[in-house]
Amino acid sequence: MGAVNLNNIVKRFGTFTAVEQTSLSIPERSFTTLLGPSGCGKTTTLRMIAGLLDPSEGEIVIGGKRVNDVPIYKRNLGLVFQNYALFPHKSVADNVAFGLRYRDVPRADIARRVQEALELVQLPQLGDRYPKALSGGQQQRIALARAIVIEPDVLLLDEPLSALDANLREDMRVELKRIQERIGVTTVFVTHDQSEALAMSDQIVVMSNGRVEQVGAPEEVYNTPASEFVAKFLGASNILDGQCLSRGPEGAMLEVPVFGKVSVPSTKAPHLAGEGAAKLVVRAEKLLLRDSPPEGGAFSAPASVETVDYQGQSVRYFVRSGDTQLQAINMIDESPFPVGAQVHLTLRPQDCAALPG
């Protein structure tokens, strides 16, 4: 049993079902991310765990205890929201101490624990300041300190980095993961940003239209997607419709446009049962452009470059081979292939994944 278990959870708002029959186990001390587009049900799921919403059906278990009827203030959870929700009229120290005062912690212990929390988020000298005097990144750290100072059983984070600019956001995701690993608290993180999910998570829960599409480690959901939605939502993918000609212990043989017959290793086709309609998934960064065909061990097809999206160290190409348009993201040393260039697309079998059609 995990630190948090959702058993057949359903949430309805009138006739609209926001979360459908969701069961999920969140391991102890893990960093688990609920990932998906807006409206997929991830924040609703988090709010049910927090006790801010009651499930319409199902059971929520935290620390081995059913908490459906336990109010939020008795669940011992740390919460950090998108807008930080700091009290503007209270000092940083008073903001961080807020939860401790409602737990009847002795005053001397409050001061010590507040200072320890501020040191953990690397802001030990800001206790006397007020939120309006802090930058966005500092406010985010203070909100985190307030959430962890109570020593929660579970830390819930609802898109806490989305209000930050791009560079600070990257710095803070590293810092947030460092803090989580140091204190070892079970963490549930909500985001629509795939790069955050891949960089920070031990476990990713991909959601769509109120349903869980796939649960797994970052490399698993990225390299071996369980559905076309997961393949498209995480990263840039080419999805080719074709036929599975055979399926055996070693893998599957697919016939698809552009590349013809492609053998996909069994580890990359766990969701493909047998012969019939199938889809070949090729990540854009695994499709390489070359001046000439490769020498053995890879599939190749001629193509012409239609669009060049230069990104500095890498470039995204849109290329056409026959009637099929594909995208490829390649690292470059100097100049990219120009529009109109005739190239060879190169693909290794181990870089493909197969899905039912």
Q: Where are the beta strands (DSSP E) in the chain?
A: 4-13, 16-26, 31-35, 57-62, 65-66, 77-80, 154-158, 186-191, 203-208, 211-216, 237-248, 251-256, 260-265, 276-283, 288-290, 299-310, 314-321, 324-331, 342-347, 352-356
- Class assignment of domain 236-356? mainly beta
Break the chain into its structural domains and give their ranges: 4-223, 236-356
Distance CA 157, CA 197 (A): 12
Query: 151: burial class by Cβ within 10 Å (0-12, 13-18, 19+)?
Result: middle
Residues sharing a CB contact under 8 Å with residue 10, sequence separation 6 or more, in sequence order: 17, 19, 20, 21, 22, 55, 56, 57, 58
Q: What percent of the chain has pLDDT over 90?
A: 85
| Max CA separation in the chain (angstroms) | 74
**For 158-172, 198-212, 339-353, which range has the lowest pLDDT when averaged over its residues?**
158-172
Judge contact between 304 and 341, C-beta under 8 A.
yes
26, pLDDT greater than 80: yes
Is residue 297 very low, low, confident or very high in pLDDT (cuts 50, 70, 90)? low
pLDDT per residue over 47-87, tens digit each? 999 999 999 999 999 999 999 999 998 999 999 988 888 99
In the structure, what pLDDT confidence band is assigned to residue 38 with cuts at 50, 70 and 90? Answer: very high
CATH homologous superfamily of 4-223: P-loop containing nucleotide triphosphate hydrolases (3.40.50.300)
**What local confidence, expressed as pLDDT, does residue 82 receive?**
85
How far is the C-alpha of 293 from the C-alpha of 42, rounded, in Å?
A: 45
- Residue pLDDT, tens place only, 184-196: 999 999 999 999 9
Q: pTM surpassing 0.85? A: yes
| pLDDT recorded at residue 165 | 87
**Average pLDDT over all residues of the chain:** 94
Distance of CA 243 to the CA centre of its chain: 31
In this predicted structure, the answer to whether residue 1 has a pLDDT above a threshold of 80 is no
For the stretch 159-176, pLDDT in tens is: 998 888 888 888 889 999
Beta pairing partners, 246 = 253
Mean pLDDT value of segment 34-53: 97
Angle (nearest 5°) at CA 48 between 47 and 51? 85
CA–CA separation, 305 and 289 (whole Å): 9
In angstroms, the CA 35 to CA 48 distance is: 16
